[in-house]
Amino acid sequence: MYSCLVFAALAFSPATGFAAVSPQTSSTPADAATVQADPIAALADAPLAAARAELLRLAFEAASAMPVNPHIKSRSKSQELAVTTCVELKQAKTAFAFSERIENWRRGAAYAELALHCVRNGGEAAATDRLIDLAYAESEAPAEEFGQGWRRDRIRSKIAQALMLRGEVETAAIFKAGLEDAEAGKLAAFEAGLMPDERFDGFLSVLEHGVAAGSFDMTLYAMSAVREMYRRFYSNAERRAVLESKLEVLWVKSPLVLRAETLLSFAQTAADNADKSNGVALLERATKLIDGANWTAQEFAGVMGETARCQKSLGQIEAARASLRRAEEKFNAERDSIWSFERAAVLRPIALAQAAIGDSDAARATFRRAFDDGAENPNGRPRAEDFTATCCALAQSGLEPGDELMKRVREIRAGLKAPW
């Protein structure tokens, strides 16, 4: 268990200790005696509008309606999406209850994600420890239950993130050791956001050497790390300029969509720091890159959604609406050539961005299209996957769906049945 690893780390480095822990919450829905007996009882749901809470419940119900045999992979993946959406909306108690019902390795990943949430949001240290214990126990399942090492590594990399955020660096290193490249890269990107000043030059050099070595995975996670570093060091004009100048070097082998997302991330960071001139300049670079490429409808919807958010943040509301119209027009023109089980995935980022820029009526209409298009497939499994994802997106948006849309959502949920 995790507690055993803590003792091992202390034995290895007794002088360091683990003084840094997450702050305690001032109130929980359970009394002190209950929490002492079961730390998980400290988990609580933040206030949430009734419609959003219902969407989360319907999403998880739809995912769980898929039969375990033969659809455990699809079922568990959709269940995990509902859990992570609960976590994002600070529904910790509900997230744990949902996690308990996942029947494969993703249960451990869900526990670890919830532990990370507790650290970020000042949850009870005992509850966090218990969640890490549960996640670690899942990662220790026999190898045949995982099939592929990356599944175990995904759980352990999430545990390492929670420990790093608590300052338990030595114990985190135990979980970090031996991770496969993809999960090690994700963890490195996470570390970039916590990096002390003195590590900047050395870390950037490591990223450049990794990309130069020709590793595609390294290029992907280098770009992610640079985005985190840009947020971390934005107030330092010299380092910010260095990171901007390194983009073309780092993205030589990265997909076009990743290049666009990185520039848009930079622009959004500038906007978040009230640096409008730099934000506009970065947005113009991103727009030039986007306009000069051919996109699938799904990729275009994603980058236009991010573009619209940046434009709204920089005071360009009409440009934001125009960007989303372009994405809708591309979807409309290509809809008949898009598989039915892929159409809602194009519409969701458009709807989310419409909600983000304040166009509530347009967002409701697009969410309605996403629900309807996702319900067209004759098989229940892809309908359930789409329904879960669209419910989660609507809950994330913060949009008040209204009676008509919720009525349609409930109708689609009631119609999810065999053939799967």
**Residue 133 counted as domain residue:** yes
Q: Which of 34 and 178 is assigned the larger pLDDT?
A: 178
**Residue 114 counted as domain residue:** yes
Q: What is the pLDDT of residue 123?
A: 86
Residue 191 has pLDDT above 50, yes or no: yes
Average pLDDT over residues 175-184: 89
156-160, 206-210, 255-259, 323-327: least confident range: 206-210
The predicted-structure confidence for 245-300, as pLDDT tens digits, reads as follows 988 888 877 889 999 999 999 999 999 999 999 999 999 999 999 999 999 999 99
Average pLDDT over residues 2-14: 41
Residue 23 has pLDDT above 60, yes or no: no
The predicted-structure confidence for 368-418, as pLDDT tens digits, reads as follows 999 999 999 999 999 999 999 999 999 999 999 999 999 999 999 999 998
209 membership: H or E segment, kind and range: helix 200-212
Average pLDDT over residues 99-116: 97
**Residue 107 counted as domain residue:** yes
User: Which residue matches tokens 């108690």?
Assistant: 93
pLDDT classification of 220: cutoffs 50, 70, 90: confident
Q: What burial class does residue 230 get, using C-beta atoms within 10 Å of its C-beta: 0-12 exposed, 13-18 middle, 19+ buried?
A: buried
Residue 26 has pLDDT above 60, yes or no: no
Residue 343 has pLDDT above 90, yes or no: yes
Residue 8 has pLDDT above 70, yes or no: no
**Residue 112 counted as domain residue:** yes
Q: What is the pLDDT of residue 297?
A: 96
User: Which residue matches tokens 């969410």?
Assistant: 367
Residue 110 has pLDDT above 90, yes or no: yes
Q: What is the residue-wise DSSP string for 53-89?
A: HHHHHHHHHHHHHS-HHHHHHHHHHHHHHHHHHHHHT
The predicted-structure confidence for 348-372, as pLDDT tens digits, reads as follows 999 999 999 999 999 999 999 999 9
Q: Count how many residues are written for the chain.
A: 420
Angle between helices 256-272 and 216-232 (to 10 degrees): 10
**Residue 385 counted as domain residue:** no
**Residue 109 counted as domain residue:** yes
pTM: 0.89
229: amino acid identity, one letter: M
Q: What is the pLDDT of residue 2?
A: 59
7: amino acid identity, one letter: F
Range of the domain at 156: 1-21+90-179
Average of per-residue pLDDT values in the chain: 89
Q: What is the pLDDT of residue 21?
A: 30
The predicted-structure confidence for 231-250, as pLDDT tens digits, reads as follows 999 999 999 999 999 888 88
Q: What is the pLDDT of residue 417?
A: 92
Residue 38 has pLDDT above 90, yes or no: no
Across the strands, what pairs with 45? 91
From residue 125, alpha-carbon distances to 26, 57, 121, 194, 282 in Å are 12, 27, 11, 20, 41
287 membership: H or E segment, kind and range: helix 276-291
> Contact 363/371 with Cβ under 8 angstroms?
no
Residue 14 has pLDDT above 60, yes or no: no
**Residue 170 counted as domain residue:** yes
pLDDT classification of 213: cutoffs 50, 70, 90: confident
Q: What is the pLDDT of residue 19?
A: 29
> Contact 131/111 with Cβ under 8 angstroms?
yes
**Residue 150 counted as domain residue:** yes
> Contact 84/113 with Cβ under 8 angstroms?
yes
For the chain, give the percent of residues with pLDDT over 70.
90
Count of domains for the chain: 1
